[in-house]
Amino acid sequence: MKPLNIVIIGAGMYVSGRGTDGYGTVMPAIGEWKRNNISGDIQIVGTSRESVGIARNKIDELKRNMRVEIAIRYFPEDEDYNPRCFREVISKISKPAACIVCVPDNLHGEIAYFAAENGLHTLVVKPLAPTLEEVRALIEVQEKNKVYCAVEFHKRFDHANLKLRDTILGGVIGDPLYFLVEYSQRKNVPSERFKKWVETTNVFQYLGIHYVDIIYFATKAVPKRAMATGQKGWLASKGTDIYDSVQGVIEWEMSSGKKFSSHILTNWIDPENTSAMSDQKIKVIGTKGRFESDQKKRGITIITDEKGIEEPNPYFCSAYGQKGDISYRGYGIESICRFLDDVVQIEKGTVRVEDMEGKRPTFKESFVSTAVLEAINTSLENAGTWITIDKYKL
Ligand SMILES: NC(=O)c1ccc[n+]([C@@H]2O[C@H](COP(=O)([O-])OP(=O)(O)OC[C@H]3O[C@@H](n4cnc5c(N)ncnc54)[C@H](O)[C@@H]3O)[C@@H](O)[C@H]2O)c1
């Protein structure tokens, strides 16, 4: 096979760990994937020379820590600021090529569309897009250009969620009656890390969407209606007029015609000294039993004078080894490496793009999570009224 070129759009926290002690998830995954010597160029596109410069420093450090040699070109190269730079890079890249889109939510649709239209296999961080209109257009362009396009729903690779899926689909706990999800993160996420674009999203869209996808993945049920309510408090008091917390209720229908509900409670105003980045739990009660998964308390507690009590999640994106010999493992790494492996198989002709449906979080699969998200956002704007999800069918 010819070399596979990779272009990454976005150079922020998730790509390079900018603004954190770590190195994000995308570049550690690319570092791991490159260990297998699959050749091809890597290009990273941001909006300004200054911001990609910060990412470059982080990534240089990461490469030394991992002891991987990868040549990377950063854009914009000759201009101080150019938010349209991705167009030039994508249209010039030689194929086969894969694109990883990792920019603020409101730009996912436009950039992913451009990548697919230019014949690039494309992975987009969640949510694919906040509206069904955008998702419909994205599916159309993906099919027309016969490229493989997926959403980076990494929780589908978490063993705890695979166990949840098998438990439900295997009938072990009978028919699901209700799901309860609690998912929250620290105050600095909306107030510092995403300050620039936080007002274009909300906490359900940022966190809740993950479990909407997991419930769909684990049940294959169809969402029928949704409602949501939210509270403004701490963030509003700091001058950002957005919800501290959003709670959504979704009614689903199984292929058997039986219905269940899911109650997804989210916030991003957890104290800074909470013991984990993500406080996350899911439980489902069925007619024959229950399944409970504490996805915050993964069994490790580290207590130090410096940092107090920490309960890290070793299963998402964790560094193992010492500087100069570090490898990254976890479901975040697997999700990105799997996409690239799939692209290689498609390019070799050993699998077809259509074979991915039902097996991976393809653009088509994410029609469900966006249908729910759109209903939740509409309900929030309409005093919590129930919104029927009748636009589900493509
Ligand atoms: N941070 C996480 O843990 C995480 C996890 C999963 C998914 N995500 C998703 O990833 C996306 C980005 O999150 P982040 O944490 O990296 O945010 P961030 O604010 O740290 O980074 C956003 C990046 O997008 C770049 N960007 C903005 N407009 C652009 C344009 N026109 N062309 C090229 N680059 C552009 C910015 O320069 C910046 O580098 C969001 O949709 C978020 O929901 C983040």
CA of 194 to the centre of ligand 1 (A): 9
Question: pTM, whole model, 2 decimals?
Answer: 0.97
CA of 259 to the centre of ligand 1 (A): 36
Same domain, 241 and 305: yes
| CATH number for the domain harbouring residue 94 | 3.40.50.720
**pLDDT over 50 at 72, yes or no:** yes
Which atom of ligand 1 is nearest to 196's Cα?
A: 19
Residue 12 lies in a domain: yes
Residue 231 has φ and ψ, to the nearest 5°, of -130, 140
pLDDT of residue 136: 96
| Reduced 3-state DSSP string for 181-197 | EEEEEECHHHHHHCCCC
Q: Is 347 helix (H, G, I), strand (E, B) or coil?
A: helix
Same domain, 236 and 301: yes
Same domain, 19 and 64: yes
Residue 197 lies in a domain: yes
Residue type, 289: G
Residue 320 lies in a domain: no
Q: Probe ligand 1: pick from 102, 194, 370, max atoms within 8 Å of CB?
A: 102
CA of 386 to the centre of ligand 1 (A): 31
Residue 321 lies in a domain: no
**End-to-end alpha-carbon separation of the chain, Å?**
35
Residue type, 263: H
pLDDT of residue 36: 82
pLDDT in tens, 173-190: 999 999 999 999 999 999
14 C-beta closer than 6 A to ligand 1:
yes
User: What is the pLDDT averaged over residues 56-70?
Assistant: 97
Count of structural domains within the chain: 2
**pLDDT over 80 at 391, yes or no:** no
22 C-beta closer than 6 A to ligand 1:
no
**pLDDT over 60 at 394, yes or no:** no
pLDDT of residue 392: 59
Which atom of ligand 1 is nearest to 15's Cα?
A: 16
Q: What CA–CA distance (Å, rounded) separates 119 from 116?
A: 5
Residue nearest to atom 12 of ligand 1 (CA): 103
Residue nearest to atom 2 of ligand 1 (CA): 14
Which atom of ligand 1 is nearest to 45's Cα?
A: 33
12 C-beta closer than 6 A to ligand 1:
yes
**Confidence label for 393 from pLDDT (cuts 50, 70 and 90):** low
Domain that includes residue 81, residue range: 5-155+326-361
**Confidence label for 38 from pLDDT (cuts 50, 70 and 90):** confident
**pLDDT over 60 at 340, yes or no:** yes
Q: Is 176 helix (H, G, I), strand (E, B) or coil?
A: strand
**pLDDT over 50 at 370, yes or no:** yes
Same domain, 54 and 128: yes
CA of 254 to the centre of ligand 1 (A): 35
**Confidence label for 256 from pLDDT (cuts 50, 70 and 90):** very high
CA of 167 to the centre of ligand 1 (A): 34
Same domain, 12 and 83: yes
Same domain, 125 and 10: yes
Residue 226 lies in a domain: yes
11 C-beta closer than 6 A to ligand 1:
yes
Q: Which two tokens stand for residue 95?
A: 């194929």
18 C-beta closer than 6 A to ligand 1:
yes
pLDDT in tens, 105-149: 999 999 999 999 999 999 999 999 999 999 999 999 999 999 999
| CATH number for the domain harbouring residue 202 | 3.30.360.10
122 C-beta closer than 6 A to ligand 1:
no
pLDDT in tens, 154-171: 999 999 999 999 999 999
Residue 393 lies in a domain: no
Contact 149, 113 (CB under 8 A): no
45 C-beta closer than 6 A to ligand 1:
yes
194 C-beta closer than 6 A to ligand 1:
yes
CA of 228 to the centre of ligand 1 (A): 26
**Confidence label for 1 from pLDDT (cuts 50, 70 and 90):** confident
* Positive or negative torsion for Cα 220, 226, 229, 234: positive
